[in-house]
Amino acid sequence: MRTISLIFALLLTLTLSAQDIQWMSFEDAVAMTKNEGNTKKVFIDVYTDWCGWCKKMDKDTFQNPEVAKYMQENFYMVKFDAEGEEPIDFDGRTFEYVPSGRRGYHQLAAALLQNRLSYPTVVFLDENMKMLSPVPGYQKVQPFMQIARYFGDNVYKEQDWKSYAGIGK
């Protein structure tokens, strides 16, 4: 009986400590940034259904409790399918799906990724939906958190990336 109670307590603790990211649509994030007093930035995970590294980043990085907690507190979290076919109105323009080759792409994905369609790529936008930076490639937890804090804690306003990250020292 004591073993069952211990297992139950452990499972309850693990369940309570896990925090899932609450993903939203791009349109919902845009609407949230327009709320008076908004201080959150926008984070966009640009992915495709066929991208194995995107799935690995979902599992290994975004499901990490430290990542989930920090990101939920500081960003509106958007998952954006780079091959989605629904038109999106943003910033006075309609972005649409463009059939191309076997798959095609969404114009908003191309705009966010500065026409470098590589997956996974995450994109950081400020509180006013202005581009801070796209970050291409799979990111493990610690490098991802360093990048997220650079933007989330507004370090980018005071310090360039190279000095913050200790590159070239």
pTM of the model: 0.86
Annotated domain spans of the chain: 19-155
Q: Identify the pLDDT of residue 4.
A: 53
Q: Is-contact 30 108, C-beta < 8 A?
A: no
Q: What share of the chain is helix, strand, coil (3-state, %, to 5)?
A: 40, 20, 35
CATH number of 19-155: 3.40.30.10
Q: CB neighbours (10 Å) of residue 37? A: 4
Q: Is-contact 65 18, C-beta < 8 A?
A: yes
Q: Identify the pLDDT of residue 44.
A: 98
Number of Cα atoms under 13 Å in the Cβ half of residue 152: 17
Per-residue pLDDT of the chain (169 residues; tens, 9 = 90+): 555 544 544 444 444 344 689 999 999 999 999 998 888 999 999 999 999 999 999 999 999 999 999 999 999 999 999 999 999 999 999 999 999 888 899 999 999 999 999 999 999 999 999 999 999 999 999 999 999 999 999 999 999 998 898 876 5
